[in-house]
């Protein structure tokens, strides 16, 4: 029979330590902490296998689970000496979900389970604190009703407000035992009214209700959304953790807190956390009371009034600090920890690898390698390449004027400007319509995930650095300012008031997640700092990677940016982008609309010097590095004039009439331009175009070689080839231009002629095509489009549904369809190499900057990937990680 329940604590361990797949992250780490002797309240974990079985069996538990859970409860009773449901001295438990990785959006926690009308009296008697007992009971009813019974929590909050009003007090702490008792009676009435049944009094019913709710929450809509956004398989399932309660709300020697072993925002090596005296776990995260700092240093830095834990509870703090070091050494990573102090005794409730910003991830990885805790290669493997995006993007210009409205907590770095939006649905809609949005909420909850994802930045009035908004924003890489307490937000009215000013929905605001500043209007940004830890980690990555990384660039600015980011050449220079320049578009149009070769050549004459100077500039910047230049590719009609004035301008330049041009433009109309007269088909029909481009390239190359001494290595690339003959013809044109230029200039330059592989036919016939070309560059945008038969320009309408229904795991235009398109690439690489063992292989579609696709390029043995400038560092790191993985 399958074992579903695993016990931990009190010297017992049923195994599965560290097995996150089986026990979920929380359960695995609780078992592991218990097994290394840390103070963990006893408990048991129902494995993720049960979740899968539960859904396979249509929402039923097997009978064997009853016995196993009973044994689990008996274990906790044995260690604590308390009995579940015993009116004299009741055992109370917490019930928490725990998937392999932490997953907001699921049922999270029920505390104080096991309280009912009888046991509450027992708890009062044993603790000697009637107020505490009734407060715990009302918390339990409220939490259970919210997360298990799914009743609206507003009704409970309202009842609490009324109770305070009736008594004329403001704070929960002003309510006494009798008040809580009265409130419990009210809460029970609310449950009976809303749920049509009395609040469950049988503690076993309570327990099974909570267990069912955890498993049920795995399929809740918001959990599904979270999984989709984070590529978490639906088959993983969640575990359930049942654990003896410990109380942080048993007076002033009790406390509860959350901590990171290093700063999760900046990465500094300093304990970092918040705690609340006389409070229960969720109070810290929920942002209801403002927590106190853990260390004196942090308190001093913030200028906070309330004592730090280091000052208020020096002994327990000392013990906690020892546990932090022990855990960091044990897990060899920064830990995110939950703890409770019950009447002076420390209890560990959770540890896990802490979520961190990209900046912190970088610093922590580099520091830990320098400290000798991990190797350089492990440091390289630790940083998520996609997260580097956060570091590479602009931050606020320190010199720009700022109209600062207020300051909150710097919860997640990066700066963002956008229109103020006060609810998540609108945020999503506006973002879909292409607007930059700042989502502003009093506080966020898992229901806001979609709005947070759609927003450029997030601003909340309540909640600390560990609040939902802060944690989720950091995970998503969104800038976030949390706990800006001066804001008064009226979401319904769509207005926020601060410092006597009003910001209405639609007004532009700017937030700086690195400083916590909230500003009115838009603020200019500056480029990021690329030295320091970033450079160190990139250096380590470069040592291990095999794939070269080039860039897709055609402007001097892009080329310079890419070189700063470490590009080792150009993998794709799309020459048509140069044609759109205002100064030359008329000549381009004249060329396209020409009636014959003579007309075309006249126009090309005008373009030649322009192209030559473009290439010369690029060659200078790329000094001596290989530069793949693609000859003209897009359908000609993309350049056609639209306005009457544009036609007139071309008519004058070409010495013809608007009517003639209009007729010619109509002739150029195509039904399916993507499969029409484009790519090398242009060169085949109008060789003079490619001849001019090749000449411009060689003239520029010779010029730069003479001037700077660093001869560029042009790799001239023919697009959309499907047959060997096409490539042969085009190569002949290029070789002739080279011969002519070299003869005229009296100097030769090394160059290559190769092709893009963008058509399934080209992949299949790669063996033959390699006879004519020295390199292949996989144009996976077109290759995906032509292999899938899906238009890259029209796919958005249905691809989301395709991904949702699991037809493709990810958008195949973003992450390579390894199974289909990947097979063609592998086949083309193999056949190409057979003909020409030293053939150069690269990729220049968008996939060249996508980590998963880069991993595929590594295993297929390509020579390089090419990515847009800002993705060059991402590609370098991803290539290093792919190489490390391939070594294993
Ligand atoms: C490609 O098709 O992958 C490619 C790089 O070319 P373009 O995107 O310019 O069509
Ligand atoms: Mg293409």
Q: Outline where 45-112 has alpha helix (H).
A: 48-56, 63-80
Query: Is-contact 16 6, C-beta < 8 A?
Result: yes
781 lines ligand 1 (CB under 6 A): yes
674 lines ligand 1 (CB under 6 A): no
Nearest ligand (C-alpha, residue 777): 1
**Which ligand 1 atom lies nearest to the CA of residue 844?**
5
| 300: helix, strand or coil | helix
Domain at 5-244: CATH architecture: 2-Layer Sandwich (3.30)
Buried (b) or exposed (e) across 843-872, using 16+ Cβ within 10 A? bbbbbbbbbbbbbbbbebebbbbbbbbbbb
Give the pLDDT confidence score for residue 314 in this predicted structure: 97
Q: What gap in Å lies between CA 879 and CA 527, rounded to an integer?
A: 24
Q: What gap in Å lies between CA 544 and CA 532, rounded to an integer?
A: 19
Residue numbers annotated as active site: 468, 844
554 lines ligand 1 (CB under 6 A): no
| Topology given in CATH for the domain delimited by 393-526 | Glucose Oxidase; domain 1 (3.50.30)
816 lines ligand 1 (CB under 6 A): no
Concatenate the DSSP letters of all residues of 758-777 into one string: -SHHHHHTHHHHHHH-SEEE
DSSP 357: -
Q: What gap in Å lies between CA 309 and CA 579, rounded to an integer?
A: 65
Nearest ligand (C-alpha, residue 720): 2
Task: Look at residues 546, 743, 551 and name the one whose alpha carbon lies nearest to residue 629.
Answer: 551
Q: Outline where 252-384 has alpha helix (H).
A: 282-286, 296-302, 309-312, 314-331, 358-371, 376-382
Atom 9 of ligand 1, nearest CA residue: 574
What Cα–Cα distance (Å) separates residue 179 from each residue in 152, 176, 200, 263? Answer: 22, 5, 22, 41
780 lines ligand 1 (CB under 6 A): yes
Buried (b) or exposed (e) across 193-230, using 16+ Cβ within 10 A? eeeeeebbeebeebbbbbbbbbbbbbebebbebbbeee
Q: What gap in Å lies between CA 299 and CA 305, rounded to an integer?
A: 8
845 lines ligand 1 (CB under 6 A): yes
Atom 4 of ligand 1, nearest CA residue: 779
Give the pLDDT confidence score for residue 220 in this predicted structure: 87
Show me where the domains of the chain are located. Answer: 5-244, 255-353, 393-526, 545-887
Give the pLDDT confidence score for residue 726 in this predicted structure: 98
574 lines ligand 1 (CB under 6 A): yes
What Cα–Cα distance (Å) separates residue 75 from each residue in 12, 82, 97, 233, 243? Answer: 9, 11, 20, 33, 10
What Cα–Cα distance (Å) separates residue 619 from each residue in 556, 688, 703? Answer: 10, 23, 10
Nearest ligand (C-alpha, residue 813): 1
666 CA distance to ligand 1 centroid (A)?
Answer: 26
| Residue from 553, 572, 791, 812 whose mutation best tests the ligand 1 pocket (most atoms within 8 A of CB) | 572
Task: Look at residues 114, 96, 121 and name the one whose alpha carbon lies nearest to residue 43.
Answer: 96
Give the pLDDT confidence score for residue 475 in this predicted structure: 61
Give the pLDDT confidence score for residue 888 in this predicted structure: 81
Task: Look at residues 433, 438, 406 and name the one whose alpha carbon lies nearest to residue 423.
Answer: 438
Q: What gap in Å lies between CA 517 and CA 479, rounded to an integer?
A: 11
Nearest ligand (C-alpha, residue 784): 1
830 CA distance to ligand 2 centroid (A)?
Answer: 21
Atom 6 of ligand 1, nearest CA residue: 779
Helix, strand, coil proportions of the chain in percent (round to 5)?
50, 20, 35
| Topology given in CATH for the domain delimited by 545-887 | TIM Barrel (3.20.20)
Give the pLDDT confidence score for residue 466 in this predicted structure: 64
Task: Look at residues 661, 736, 654, 672 and name the one whose alpha carbon lies nearest to residue 698.
Answer: 736
84 CA distance to ligand 2 centroid (A)?
Answer: 67
State which residues of the chain have pLDDT below 70.
16, 282-288, 393-394, 465-466, 474-477, 527, 582
**Which ligand 1 atom lies nearest to the CA of residue 782?**
2
Give the pLDDT confidence score for residue 302 in this predicted structure: 87
The CATH number assigned to the domain with range 255-353 reads 3.30.470.20
| Residue from 676, 779, 812, 853 whose mutation best tests the ligand 1 pocket (most atoms within 8 A of CB) | 779
| Residue from 575, 719, 821, 825 whose mutation best tests the ligand 1 pocket (most atoms within 8 A of CB) | 719
**All residues at 6 or more sequence positions from 250 whose CB lies less than 8 Å from its CB, including other chains:** 127, 129, 132, 278, 342, 343
pTM assigned to the model: 0.78
Token output for 154: 């507003």
Question: 872-887 vs 851-860: helix axis angle to the nearest 10?
Answer: 50
**Which ligand 1 atom lies nearest to the CA of residue 552?**
5
- Longest Cα–Cα distance of the chain, Å, equals 104
| Residue from 551, 552, 574 whose mutation best tests the ligand 1 pocket (most atoms within 8 A of CB) | 574
Query: Is-contact 543 881, C-beta < 8 A?
Result: no
The Cα angle at residue 305 between residues 304 and 310, in degrees rounded to 5: 80
- Cα dihedral sign, 640-643-644-648: negative
Task: Look at residues 729, 720, 811 and name the one whose alpha carbon lies nearest to residue 758.
Answer: 720
């Amino acid at each position: 029979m399958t074992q579903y329940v695993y016990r931990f604590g009190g010297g017992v361990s049923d195994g599965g330590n560290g097995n996150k797949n089986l026990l979920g992250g929380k359960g695995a780490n609780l078992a592991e902490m218990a097994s290394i002797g840390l103070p963990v309240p006893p408990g048991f974990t129902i494995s993720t296998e049960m979740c899968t079985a539960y859904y396979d069996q249509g929402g039923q538990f097997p009978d064997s689970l009853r016995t196993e859970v009973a044994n689990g409860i008996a274990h906790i009773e044995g260690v604590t000496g308390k009995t579940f449901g015993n009116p004299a001295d009741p055992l109370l438990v917490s019930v928490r979900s725990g998937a392999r990785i932490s997953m907001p959006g699921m049922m999270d926690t029920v505390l104080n389970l096991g309280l009912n009308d009888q046991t509450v009296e027992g708890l009062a008697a044993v603790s000697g604190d009637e107020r505490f007992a009734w407060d715990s009971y009302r918390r339990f009813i409220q939490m259970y009703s919210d997360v298990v019974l799914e009743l609206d929590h507003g009704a409970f909050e309202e009842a609490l407000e009324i109770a305070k009003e009736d008594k004329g007090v403001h704070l929960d702490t002003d309510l006494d035992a009798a008040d809580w008792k009265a409130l419990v009676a009210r809460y029970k009435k609310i449950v009976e009214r809303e749920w049509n049944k009395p609040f469950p009094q049988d503690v076993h019913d309570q327990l099974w209700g909570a267990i069912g709710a955890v498993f049920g929450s795995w399929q809740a809509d918001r959990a599904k959304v979270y999984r989709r956004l984070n590529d978490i398989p639906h088959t993983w399932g969640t575990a359930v953790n049942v654990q003896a309660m410990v109380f942080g709300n048993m007076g002033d020697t009790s406390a509860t807190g959350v901590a990171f072993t290093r700063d999760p925002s900046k990465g500094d090596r300093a304990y970092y956390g918040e705690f609340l005296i006389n409070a229960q776990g969720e109070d810290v995260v929920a942002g209801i009371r403002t927590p106190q700092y853990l260390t004196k240093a942090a308190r001093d830095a913030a200028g906070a009034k309330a004592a730090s834990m280091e000052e208020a509870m020096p002994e327990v703090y000392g013990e906690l600090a020892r546990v932090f070091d022990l855990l960091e050494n044990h897990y060899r990573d920064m830990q995110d920890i939950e703890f409770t102090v019950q009447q002076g005794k420390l209890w560990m409730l959770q540890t896990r690898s802490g979520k961190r910003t990209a900046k912190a991830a970088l610093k922590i990885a580099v520091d830990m390698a320098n400290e000798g805790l991990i190797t350089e290669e492990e440091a390289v493997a630790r940083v998520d390449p996609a997260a580097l995006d956060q570091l590479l993007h602009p931050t606020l210009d320190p010199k720009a004027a700022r109209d600062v409205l207020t300051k909150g907590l710097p919860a997640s770095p990066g700066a963002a400007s956008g229109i103020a939006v006060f609810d998540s649905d609108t945020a999503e809609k506006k973002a879909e319509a292409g607007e930059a949005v700042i989502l502003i909420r009093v506080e966020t909850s898992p229901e806001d995930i979609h709005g947070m994802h759609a927003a450029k930045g997030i601003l909340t009035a309540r909640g600390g650095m560990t609040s939902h908004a802060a944690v989720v924003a950091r995970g998503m890489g969104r800038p976030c300012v949390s706990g800006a307490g001066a804001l008064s937000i009226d979401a319904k009215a769509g207005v926020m008031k601060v410092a006597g000013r009003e910001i209405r929905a639609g007004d532009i605001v700017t937030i700086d997640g690195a400083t916590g500043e909230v500003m009115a209007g838009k603020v200019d940004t500056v480029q990021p700092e690329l030295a320091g830890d970033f450079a160190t980690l990139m250096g380590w990555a470069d040592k291990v990677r095999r794939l070269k990384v080039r860039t897709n660039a055609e402007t001097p600015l892009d080329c310079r940016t890419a070189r700063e980011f470490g590009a080792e050449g150009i993998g794709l220079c799309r020459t048509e982008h140069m044609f759109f320049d205002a100064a030359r578009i008329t000549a381009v149009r004249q060329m396209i609309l020409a009636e014959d070769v003579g007309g075309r050549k006249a126009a090309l004459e005008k373009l030649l010097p322009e192209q030559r100077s473009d290439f010369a500039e690029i060659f200078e910047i790329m000094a001596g590095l290989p530069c793949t230049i693609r000859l003209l590719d897009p359908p000609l009609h993309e350049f056609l004039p639209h306005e009457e004035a544009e036609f007139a301008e071309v008519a004058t330049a070409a010495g013809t009439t608007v009517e003639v041009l209009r007729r010619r433009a109509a002739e150029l109309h195509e039904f399916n331009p993507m499969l029409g007269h484009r790519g090398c088909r242009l060169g085949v029909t109008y060789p003079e175009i490619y001849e001019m481009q090749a000449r411009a390239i060689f003239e520029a190359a010779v010029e730069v070689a003479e001037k700077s001494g660093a001869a560029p290595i042009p790799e001239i690339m023919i697009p959309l080839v499907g047959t060997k003959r096409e490539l042969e013809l085009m190569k002949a044109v290029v070789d002739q231009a080279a011969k002519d230029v070299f003869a005229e200039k009296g100097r030769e330059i090394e160059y290559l002629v190769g092709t893009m592989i963008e058509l399934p036919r080209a992949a299949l016939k790669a063996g033959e095509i390699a006879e004519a070309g020295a390199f292949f560059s996989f144009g996976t945008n077109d290759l995906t489009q032509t292999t899938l038969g899906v238009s890259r320009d029209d796919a958005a309408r249905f691809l989301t549904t395709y991904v949702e229904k699991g037809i493709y795991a990810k958008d195949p235009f973003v992450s390579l369809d390894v199974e289909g398109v990947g097979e063609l690439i592998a086949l083309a690489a193999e056949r190409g190499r057979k003909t020409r063992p030293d053939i150069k292989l690269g990729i220049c579609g968008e996939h060249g900057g996508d980590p998963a696709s880069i991993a595929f390029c590594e295993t297929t043995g390509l020579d390089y990937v090419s990515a847009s400038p800002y993705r060059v560092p991402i590609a370098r790191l991803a290539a290093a990680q792919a190489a490390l993985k391939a070594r294993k």
